[in-house]
Amino acid sequence: MALLQLRDLNKHFGGLHVTNSVNLVLEQGEIHCLIGPNGAGKSTLFRLILGEHQPGSGQICFAGEDITALKSFARIRRGLSVKFQVPGVFKGLSVRQNLEIALQSRLHGGELVQEIDRLLAFLGLAAEQAQTAGNLSHGQKQWLEIGMAIALKPRLLLLDEPTAGMSPEETHMTGEMVRRLNALGMTVLAIEHDMAFVRQVAQRVTVLHLGQVFAQGSIDEIVADERVAAIYLGQTHA
């Protein structure tokens, strides 16, 4: 069953056609990776899905419902959740409080305390729980924001470059984390540059280029596609 459907989505920034007739179907339960050169429009696509930008035309359906006109918070309440490219934790608050704010609309009292502790352990941030989130390392901030995103128990988790700034070991750990969440029933759409990570988690890959869906398939099909290699090469030469 399709969980998310983007139908003929378009978005312009001035004269720039950032999202160009994008059609994308995300199946319930899959891990799907979105790749493409910088400026391809990946983050913009996320912001359209989340309602931070309104599309010029097209339709966004989530779990069978047209959510194109819904406000962001309402989409989140329908079961979407996101970790942004630039970590957006609550810098002045403690790590623990960050998670509490993410969890408090779902849980209360003792259950809330227990779930925060469980999540801290899952993220490997138990020792840092009293620290101010702004003092965490970049990788720890990424994990904290992932933690806040999954605290909502979303049906679809959107991850925008979750491993940016992480060491290869940390990247691998993040990949394992994503797979565990997926095994628990979470559908995942991840923007990622790290091909090792994509190989580790992705069941399907979509390549975005100049705002258009350029190619789609398994990771092996994508890696073997010479046209895909060319757009990445083109970018490094430009």
DSSP secondary structure letters along the chain: -EEEEEEEEEEEETTEEEEEEEEEEEETT-EEEEE-STTSSHHHHHHHHHTSS--SEEEEEETTEE-TTS-HHHHHHHTEEEE-SS----TTSBHHHHHHHHHTTT--HHHHHHHHHHHHHHHT-GGGTTSBGGGS-HHHHHHHHHHHHHHT--SEEEEESTTTT--HHHHHHHHHHHHHHHHTT-EEEEE---HHHHHHH-SEEEEEETTEEEEEE-HHHHHH-HHHHHHHHHHHH-
Residue 82 CB, nearest approach to ligand ADP (Å):
13
Task: State which of residues 42, 100, 187, 200 lies at the interface with another protein (CB under 8 A).
Answer: 100
- When CB distances to Mg ion are compared, the closest residue is 43
Among Mg ion, ligand ADP, another protein, none, partner that 97 touches (CB below 5 to 8 angstroms by kind): another protein
Give yes or no for residue 40 binding ligand ADP (CB under 6 A). yes
Under rule CB under 6 A, residue 41 binds ligand ADP = yes
The residue among 176, 159, 183, 179 whose CA lies nearest residue 49 is 159
Is residue 85 part of the contact set for another protein (CB under 8 A)?
no
Contact 42, 233 (CB under 8 A): no
> Minimum distance between the CB of residue 108 and another protein, rounded to whole angstroms?
8
Decide if residue 195 touches another protein (CB under 8 A): no
Question: Which residues within the stretch 10-69 sit at the binding site for another protein (CB under 8 A)?
Answer: 50, 52
Count of other CB atoms within 10 angstroms of residue 229 = 12
What residue type is assigned to position 143 of the chain? W
Among 3, 31, 32, 42, binds ligand ADP (CB under 6 A): 42
Q: Mask 127-166, x = binds another protein (CB under 8 A)?
A: ------------------x--x---x--------------
Residue 180 binds to another protein (criterion: CB under 8 A): no
Strand partners, 11: 19
Binding segment for ligand ADP (CB under 6 A), chosen from 22-30, 39-47, 99-107, 150-158, is 39-47
Closer of 43 and 68 to Mg ion (Cβ):
43
Instruction: Select from ligand ADP, another protein, Mg ion, none the partner in contact with residue 71, using the beta carbon and a kind-dependent cut-off of 5 to 8 Å.
Output: another protein
Contacts with another protein, residue ranges (CB under 8 A): 50, 52, 71-74, 76-77, 81-82, 84, 88-94, 97, 100-102, 104-105, 145, 148, 152
Contacts with ligand ADP, residue ranges (CB under 6 A): 13, 16, 18, 36, 38-44
